[in-house]
Structure 1
Amino acid sequence: MNFRRRLPDDELEINLIPLIDVLLVILIFLAATTSFTRYQQMKVSLPEARADALAEPEALNIAISQEGLYALEGRLLPGTTAADIAQALAAAAEGRPDAVLVINADAHSTHESVLRVMEAARQAGISRVNFATRSPR
């Protein structure tokens, strides 16, 4: 005796539209929250300068080496602090009210060593600072 009632055989089907909607929402969420790291890996190539060189008779030349050593007018400076460089610049610029400082920095010298020379020039009262560049080949 079979007391169970037989239900008509319905075919089971999977509705794909809600599944696609959910996947699209997840895809939009992932695209919106992804961090772009290519800006952190950007390599910067600084341009070369092309300008007419004007020789100024009152220009003081200071060179900065890759190791962070300083040479004023071809003579190595004993100190590497801003105060030491400022003292040497003030002595060299004595009697030159409109002295111009030309910084010849090595391409691999640190940014800190160039800023140290600029700070020393400010302390020595030299307001005109130029940078020497090489011409493009």
Structure 2
Amino acid sequence: MNLRPHRREPADINLTPLIDVVFLLLIFFMVSTTFKDEARLRVQLPEAQGEEIPAEEPEMIRLVIDRTGSFNVDDRAVLDGTTETLVDALKERLGEDEPLPVLIQADAQTPHQAVMTALDAASQAGLVQIAFAATRVRDDDAEPARTAFGQSAPPSFPQPVQPSAGEIAE
């Protein structure tokens, strides 16, 4: 007769089914997820009379100001709205190149102070060729005009026009 207590062997936990299920869920979510290009800023430009933008535009620095007054230099957000930070961002974009023209695309609801800050920053960065983007009121009969990037303009937005170039006095 065996009087010693019977010890059970420790239970093994098999992790293989758990890993299989996790990989199946990972594959399911990777396949079913849709990626949209929502990174572009959408600004509604103010309206003005003028000519349409040509299909090819020269190299320029695009300074976009949204309705809250936030700045983006060539689709890169500027950390804060101070003039010094914007000057640094413009100089970084410019690099060692000769001065490029600046296209200011401000939303129609942008505070005026944000536009003045952009003009001041461009002047301090040594950029004197400045243009403002605007849109023309669209006729309902006319076919959609092309935007500066060669895409059809969205139906809810007026059509783009040639920016009026102006220089800042040094």
Task: Tell me whether the two structures share a fold, i.e. TM-score over 0.5.
Answer: yes
Aligned to 1:90: 91
Secondary structure of 1:117's aligned partner: helix
Structure 1 residues 70-79 or 100-109, which shifts more? 70-79
Matched residue SS, 1:71: strand
What's the counterpart of residue 62 of structure 1?
Answer: 63
The AA in structure 2 aligned to 1:136 is: V
The percent identity for this pair of structures is 25
Residue 14 of structure 1 corresponds to none
Report if aligned partners of 1:50, 1:136 keep a CA contact under 8 Å in 2.
no
Contact persistence 1:58–1:96 (CA under 8 A): no
Contact 2:102/2:129, CA 8 A, preserved across alignment: yes
Aligned AA (1:118): L
TM-score, scaled relative to structure 1 = 0.62
Q: CA deviation at 1:100?
A: 0.5
Deviations 1:99-137 (A, max 9, x none): 010000000001100000000001100010000111221
Q: Is the 8 A contact 2:90 2:122 kept in 1?
A: yes
2:48 counterpart letter in structure 1: E
Structure 2 residue runs of 5 or longer lacking an equivalent are 1-45, 139-170
Q: Secondary structure at the match of 1:129?
A: strand
**Structure 1 or 2: more helix by fraction:** 1
Query: 1:106 corresponds to which letter in structure 2?
Result: D
Which structure is larger by alpha-carbon Rg, 1 or 2? 1
Q: SS state of the match for residue 133, structure 1? A: strand
Deviation (angstroms), 1:75: 1.3
| TM-score of the superposed pair, with normalisation by structure 2 | 0.50
- Residue 132 of structure 1 aligns to a residue whose secondary structure is strand
* 4+ residue runs over 3 A deviation: none
- Following superposition, the deviation at residue 47 of structure 1 comes to 5.5
User: Can you list the C-alpha shifts for 1:74-116, whole angstroms capped at 9, x where unaligned?
Assistant: 1111021111001100111123313010000000001100000
Deviations 1:12-48 (A, max 9, x none): xxxxxxxxxxxxxxxxxxxxxxxxxxxxxxxxxx852
SS in 2 for 1:87: helix
